[in-house]
Structure 1
Amino acid sequence: MKVSAGILMYVLQPEFRLLLAHPGGPYFKNKDEGSWTIPKRQVEAEEEIIAAAKREFNEETGIPVKEPLIDLSYVRQKSGKKVYCWAFEGEEKSIENFNSNSFEMEWPPRSGKTAVFVEVDRIELFTPEEARKKIMEAQIAFIDRLEAHLNKEV
């Protein structure tokens, strides 16, 4: 079974918003609602799940992860993949440092040619209502869990 791990950054000022990532590459080029995600990666067998989540968040956004982290558990996506998520409070201005790593793949398919694409082509801060429309359906639970956690702290 495939396992991925990621981080959901949120900001409280000037209003509560969540950072989502739009996947790069040709398959997501013209997709919007339901295709955004938390910055995440597949966890390799020997990797610690939380370490993979922190590293990938930084590689896909250029933003360092700040402690403390809030454990939002996991969801199971339609593909069967388990996705673990943690959250942290960041700052709105940190998205100005956006910089994503890249990957290489055969493109167009069966052409024998390779092309380089960014892992994430853009990041954006969304209100919870907007984020629920943008994010992959299974990951909506992370937004709900984070809101419940933050409401308990108030």
Structure 2
Amino acid sequence: MAKQSAGILLYRRAGEGVELLIAHMGGPLWSRKDEHAWSIPKGEPNPGEELLDAARREFAEELGLPVPDLEFTELGQARQSNGKVVTIWAGEADLDVSTIDPGTFPMEWPPRSGRTVQFPEVDRAEWVVPDVARTKLVKGQVVFVDRLLDRLSVGGA
């Protein structure tokens, strides 16, 4: 069975359109990259954990901010280039991302040094318009931008 991941894509109304909350991946491998180096806040479920519960937990862990209390709409699944199947939910909320306090992950750095260093899961989060999200998100997640926009144009999510 393919590995799974679950996440939450927040959006907010902005003028005639919407803005989406995306996060730049942390750690040394992404530090100098911008295009296709951002992600929807997401992560892997624990054994037996429901995917929406995992999405909520991972959002809070990655950003260090509480998940807004709101109804979420499932945007379905997509297979990433690494084979992982990602399930994303969307919800409308405005969140101040200037105060993110991301969780960390351990990584051997520099490679083959035998030294383990803690890095932030994400190093920043931003509200962006859909066209910007399409160029910043890792390619396998762009489909969720389009699915959300389709849902919003047919009466709202």
Number of matched pairs: 153
Partner residue, 1:78: 81
Deviations 1:62-99 (A, max 9, x none): 3322311011011001111100000111115x213311
Q: Distance in 1 between the 2:101 and 2:117 partners?
A: 19
Q: CA RMSD in A?
A: 1.4
1:149 is displaced (CA, Å) by 0.8
Instruction: Give runs of aligned pairs for residues 1-154 of structure 1, distance below 5 A.
Output: 1-14=2-15, 15-65=17-67, 66-92=69-95, 94-153=96-155
Partner amino acid, structure 2, of 1:102 = T
Identical columns (%): 44
Moved more, 66-75 or 56-65: 56-65
The two structures have a TM-score, normalised by structure 2, of: 0.91
What is the distance in 2 between the residues matched to 1:63 and 1:111?
Answer: 33
Q: TM-score under structure 1 normalisation?
A: 0.93
Query: What residue ranges of structure 1 are gaps of 5+ in the alignment?
Result: none
Distance (Å, rounded) in 2 between the aligned partners of 1:72 and 1:99:
26
- How many angstroms apart in 1 are the aligned matches of 2:109 and 2:98? 30
Question: Which has the larger share of helix?
Answer: 1
Note the residue ranges of structure 2 that are not aligned, 5 or more in a row. none
